Structure 1
Amino acid sequence: MDENTPVFVISMAAELSGMHPQTLRQYDRLGLVSPERTPGKSRRYTMRDIVKLREIAELGTEGVSLEGIRRILELEDHVRRLESRLRDLETTLADEMLQRPGRRVFAAGAAGDVISMKAGTRTRRSNQVVIWRPLDHT
C-alpha cells in the first residue's frame, strides 16, 4: 500500500483529517479533494487525500477562502507535475549523454543566437566595458 491507494471510507477520512463527513462531501462537490469511487459509488480516500484535507483545514484557519484554497491546491499540483516532468527530462538527457558521448551542445549567444559547441567547452565571455552617459538636455 502506498499514499495513492484508495482505502479510507468517508467516516475514517473525516476522523483522520479532523473534519465532518459533510465537509468532505462539500469539498468533493467543489473539486478540492476528489476521492476515487467504488463500483457502488462509495468514496475511497487515499493518504494523499488526507494530507490535502489537513492542508485545506490549515489554510482555512489562516483565513484563506475556499476559492483561494482551490487555487493554491491547483498551483501546487501544477508544480508537482512540472517537477515530475523535469525529473523525467533530466533522466532522459543523462541517459542520452551516456549513450552518445561527444555529441554537440548548444548555448545561447550574446545576441540570442544559438551556438553549437563541442561537449566540455565553455562559451567565450566578452570582457568589454560599456559606459553609459545620459544625454545632458540643458
Structure 2
Amino acid sequence: MSLLTTLNDDIKTAMKAKDKETLSVLRMLKTAIQNEQIKAGRDLNGEEELTVLSREMKQRRDSLAEFEKAGRDDLADKAKIEITIVEKYMPEQLSEEEIRQIVQAAIDQTGASSAKEFGKVMGAVMPKVKGKAVGNQVNAIVKELLQEN
C-alpha cells in the first residue's frame, strides 16, 4: 500500500474524528507528495516518498528551532504536534549506536583519515540512513569519528 493511500485513509479517519490539527498536517503531506508526482510526471516510489517526508520533517524541525529561539511557545507547541504526526509515517529512527556503526563502516570503506574527507564519508553514509536519522546528528557523529582517526 502506497503512502498516498495510507494518507487518504488517515485523512478520512481524521475528518470523522473532527481532528483538525491532524487533518491539516495530513493534507500538507498529501499535497507535498502530489506536487512531487506532478513534477516527476509519474507515481513516486517508496524511496521518493520517503524523501518528501524527510523534507517535510526537516522543515518542521527547523521551524521548531526558530520558534523556540524567538520565544514563540505557541508556535513551537504547534510545530511539536506536527512533528509527532509526521513521525508516524517515517521509518523507525536509528539509535545513536547504530548510526555510529554505519559511519564507522563508511570511514573504513572510504579510507577516510581526516576531517578533509568529511564530504566523502557523508556521501557514503546518507543514502544508508535516509529518513532514519536526522542529518545534524549524522553530521556531528561523522565529525567526531573523523577527529578520532
Instruction: Point out the structure with the larger helix share.
Output: 2
Give 1 or 2 for the bigger CA radius of gyration.
1
Instruction: Point out the structure with the larger strand share.
Output: 1
TM-score scaled to structure 2, two decimals?
A: 0.30
Larger RCO (CA within 8 A; separation ≥ 6)? 2
